[in-house]
Amino acid sequence: MKASSLDPRRWSLAFKAPLFVAAFMLVVSIVMTNAVLSRLRETQERHLSALSTIYLNGLAATLIPHVLRDDIWEIFDAIDRGASLEAGFGRATIVVVDAKGQTLAASVPKLAPVLSQQVGRDQAFQGDSSLIVDIDKARAFARRSLIYQGRRIGAIYVDYDVSHLLRERADVLRTLIGTNAAIAVFLAAFGYWVIRWMLGPLRTLTRHLDLGVAGTVQPIPAHAVAASTQEFGRLFRRFNVMAEAVNDREVIAKELANEERLASLGRLASGMAHEINNPLGGLFNAIDTLKRHGDKPNVRSSSLDLIERGLKGIRDVVRSALTVYRADRNPRNLVTADLDDLKLLIRPEIERRSLRLDWRNHLEADLPLPASAIRQVVLNLLLNAIQVSSLGSQVRLEAAVVGGDLVIEVLDCGPGFDEEARSVLTGEADRPPPIHSRTGSGLGLWMTHRLVHDLNGRTVIDTQLDGGSLVRVVIPLTPAEELRDVA
């Protein structure tokens, strides 16, 4: 469980709303149950009181003549028969006392023997009350004075078993809890369904945004827009407009990147022309020398030697250029020479800026990586390093296989990457390609990031103590498909 899932503010609406409904129902249930139970209690006690009064009146009418005569047996006989109550009351305990509070007879004489004092029974009753209900003992206690010709000749105390009334309350409580729980569960489930249904368009939007991260943003289909509510319809239409703009931007960025590549190609071509032009003067001189002194064997031999070296130089330069820009037509594995060729391509730029090139290519065998993509990445990084390095400083390349990864490091002596260039290159934020850039290298970096990303690699930029930056590209040698699934 993530820490965020403990924070209620971050819980899903589809969960929160039913929870709220359930909590609300709980409060309503408690209030309702209390109200119902207290009404039930009042009703039961009112009925019990009425019933008790009727019962005691009947009993008193029977008992008064016997009490007047102190006829213990007849009193006992009457209350023994009268103790068995109907309507769930079970057997009552009845005690009849005389005016002095002495027991005349009790339905259970062993609990209240004849002549025993029962004054304590009156103390439990407050004021003139004639009924007490003791919930804990599940019994009700009632009293009635026996009045004859205006004089009190004794009293009856009755204690009823009221457990059936308490059972009835418990039944009502159970029924209320059951019913309310069922309603709460139903409402919570209904709330969950309603919220999920209402938030359906949001899920559509989220899905399309997720798809957009990987590549082109997919507009929401027209039927989904038409089927949505007014609010979400507007949102969907705005999203579609935005998706179109983003996709256009992507296309433009690609075109610009291409143009950037062509621009650097032009720059390289002019360098190459210079490279070719240099030996050309020497070659024409050699041809001139041959024309004039070709008959001298040592002159002819040295001139031809010169021509051969010049032509070899031209051939190497042309071959490198061809290899770089034959991209993707014939994908093959990366070999050591692919990187070494780049040295030739950048030499004019290195010389133009009077830089020293420290070339440490430790690669030996073929690597299962697409040659053209890696070359493009390294070329972009080198060109960027050359561009930012101050005149006369050093640029270093180091390539090696470490563990299961190809690691390429390019060190420059420039001012370091600004924040924008850094985030473009490392892909720290999912951001659109930079259309404008002060240095003009933004698109090159963005292309580099996309290429590294496609190869499941990652880019790290270290700032050196003496200024300058170390760009490290790490590309796994494992087949790309497996990693893409994990990513």
Partner 1 sequence: MVTAHPPTVRAAQPFRFGLTPVFLNSDLDLLEALQKYLSAAMGTEVQLVLKRTYQEITSQLLSGLLDAAWICGFPFVAYRRELELVAVPIWRGKTTYQSYLIVSEGREASTISDLRGDIHAFSDPDSNSGYLVTRALLAENGVKPQDFFQRTFFTYGHRNVVRAVAAGLAQSGSVDGYVWEVMTETEAALTRQTRPAWRSDWMGFPPIATARENASSNNIARLRQALWGMPQDRVGREVLNLLRLDGFAPGDPSLFDSIASRVDLVRTLG
Binding site for partner 1 (CB under 8 A): 70-73, 76-77, 80, 105-106, 108-110, 113-115
CB 389 within 8 A of CB 395: yes
Specify the residue, 80 or 405, whose C-beta has the smaller distance to partner 1: 80
From the CB of residue 344, how many other CB atoms can be counted at a distance below 10 Å?
A: 19
Specify the residue, 110 or 223, whose C-beta has the smaller distance to partner 1: 110
CB of 64 to partner 1, least distance (A): 18
Instruction: Return the biggest CA–CA distance within the chain.
Output: 175
**DSSP class per residue in 331-400:** --EE-HHHHHHHHHHHHHHHHHTT-EEEEEE---S-EEEEHHHHHHHHHHHHHHHHHHSPTT-EEEEEEE
CB of 115 to partner 1, least distance (A): 6
* CA-angle at 317, arms to 449 and 372, nearest 5°: 30
Question: Cα separation of 196 and 368, whole Å?
Answer: 48
Per residue, what are the HEC states of 208-260?
Answer: HHHHHHHCCCCCCCHHHHHHCCHHHHHHHHHHHHHHHHHHHHHHHHHHHHHHH
- Which DSSP helix (H) or strand (E) runs through 286? helix 230-293
CB 277 within 8 A of CB 284: no
The tokens for 346 are 């950048």
CB 456 within 8 A of CB 475: yes
First to last CA, the chain: 21
CB of 120 to partner 1, least distance (A): 20
Specify the residue, 36 or 72, whose C-beta has the smaller distance to partner 1: 72
CB of 46 to partner 1, least distance (A): 34
Specify the residue, 107 or 437, whose C-beta has the smaller distance to partner 1: 107
CB of 119 to partner 1, least distance (A): 19
Specify the residue, 70 or 308, whose C-beta has the smaller distance to partner 1: 70
Specify the residue, 83 or 374, whose C-beta has the smaller distance to partner 1: 83
Specify the residue, 81 or 238, whose C-beta has the smaller distance to partner 1: 81
Query: What are the Cα distances from residue 476, in Å, to 46, 319, 330, 366, 470?
Result: 86, 29, 22, 14, 19
CB of 93 to partner 1, least distance (A): 13
Question: Cα separation of 469 and 413, whole Å?
Answer: 7
Specify the residue, 58 or 113, whose C-beta has the smaller distance to partner 1: 113
CB of 74 to partner 1, least distance (A): 9
Task: Give SS3 for 203.
Answer: helix
Specify the residue, 79 or 188, whose C-beta has the smaller distance to partner 1: 79
CB of 76 to partner 1, least distance (A): 5
